[in-house]
Amino acid sequence: MKSFLIQNNDANQRLDKFLQKSVPKLPPTLMYKYLRTKRIKVNGKKSEISFRLSPGDEVSLYIRDEFFSEDNRMDFLLAPTSVELVYEDENLLLLNKPAGLCVHEDNAHTPDTLIHRVLHYLYRKGEYRPEQELSFVPSLCNRIDRNTSGIVIAAKNAESLRILNEKIKQREIDKYYLCVVCGHIRPESGSLRHFMRKQENNSLVQVFDRPVPDGKTMVTEYRTLARSMENTLLEVFLKTGRTHQIRAHLAHIGYPLLGDGKYGNGKINKRYHVAQQLLCSYKLRFSFSETEHLLGYLNGQIFQLPEVWFQKEFKEKF
């Protein structure tokens, strides 16, 4: 038998969701059976799977020890502790992810990822103790492609994670990007509205001028910041958040990102000696519709990277 005492980071979630996170080796079918047969109880009583946990609740499991065997919760120690902070407080981190670093583990199970660096950083600070957490792990709230640099949000506690995920879903966190496209884009600013469909077999996005079955609308706003002899530096604002949206959308209208190996022009990329897309998530603005929550103090605040390398070198190199 093992008991879990519910803490703040475990509260306000359904019992079945808590069990899936805290006892991941317990198959769902057995979990539901054990709830029905009172081998899993809350505060000594039978409980429904939809029961919402509160701080101080005790969850008791009368199940075999094999379901509690050690997992890989400390793998993050294999990653460096180095993170480039844009902002930090008791609830969240804003991080500048370098190009080339994965946000999460890929198929090669590389231990050096952004989330592992964040966990190692917080562990060293004493703000994350895996042995004291039952179901919560500090988490990234948004993700960007491996070869894209820029700001990523990480939540330090469960309440912040819930709020940030909801605000991102409601489009109340505005994300701005800088990029370099091939050619002189016309018009110099505008709003693009097209339709996309992801190809699961090759992770590419197809863009269409008209609605298609299983397609999703994507809207991208842009404005020209500067021009070189051949290329254009843009600021891009996402009205929707689709896979590869900026890369695929701008390529569709004839202005692919410089350095993009999937949607770009290989000959031009080779001529400029760039092997990764010149794309950076450089600015965030919190635009909450209401502020009666833990993160209300962030409303209206703008966070911006002090420098983006290709912006500084744009006219000289690109």
* Residues 6+ away with beta carbon under 8 Å from 31: 16, 19, 20, 23, 40
Q: How far is CA 254 from the centre of its chain?
A: 28
pLDDT tens across 9-45, in order?
989 999 999 999 888 888 999 999 999 999 999 999 9
In this structure, is the dihedral angle defined by the CA atoms of residues 244, 98, 238 and 180, taken in order, positive or negative? negative
Residue 70 has pLDDT above 70, yes or no: no
DSSP class per residue in 8-70: GGG-SSBHHHHHHHHSTTS-HHHHHHHHHTTSEEETTEE--TTPBP-TT-EEEE-S-GGGG--
For 9, phi then psi, to 5°, come to: -70, -15
pLDDT tens across 259-284, in order?
999 999 999 999 999 989 999 999 99
pLDDT for 147 equals: 92
Return the closest-CA partner of residue 148 out of 271, 237, 279.
279
| Average pLDDT of the residues in 216-231 | 96
Active site amino acids: 145
pLDDT for 256 equals: 97
Residue 242 has pLDDT above 80, yes or no: yes
* Cα–Cα distance, 236 to 175 (Å, whole number): 9
* Cα–Cα distance, 17 to 35 (Å, whole number): 13
> Which top CATH class is 2-68?
alpha beta
> Which top CATH class is 75-169?
alpha beta
For 266, phi then psi, to 5°, come to: -60, -40
Q: Which regions of the chain carry the CATH code 3.10.290.10? A: 2-68
Q: Band of the pLDDT at 69, cuts 50, 70, 90? A: low
Q: How far is CA 85 from the centre of its chain?
A: 16
CATH number of the domain at 174-304, please? 3.30.2350.10
Q: Does residue 122 or residue 135 have the better pLDDT? A: 122
Kindly state the percentage of the chain with pLDDT values over 90. 78
Q: Which regions of the chain carry the CATH code 3.30.2350.10? A: 75-169, 174-304
DSSP-derived letter for residue 78 is G
What pTM was estimated for this model as a whole? Answer: 0.86
Residue 110 has pLDDT above 90, yes or no: no
Summary mean pLDDT of the chain: 93
Structure tokens that stand for 256 in this block: 């692919």
Which residues, listed in sequence order, are joined to residue 303 by a DSSP beta bridge? Answer: 284
Tokens 């902070």 found at:
85
Which of 131-135, 189-193, 281-285 is the least confident region?
131-135
DSSP class per residue in 136-203: ---EES----TT-EEEEEEESSHHHHHHHHHHHHTT-EEEEEEEEEES--SSSEEEEEEEEEEETTTT
* Cα–Cα distance, 138 to 155 (Å, whole number): 6
| Average pLDDT of the residues in 280-308 | 96
pLDDT for 155 equals: 98
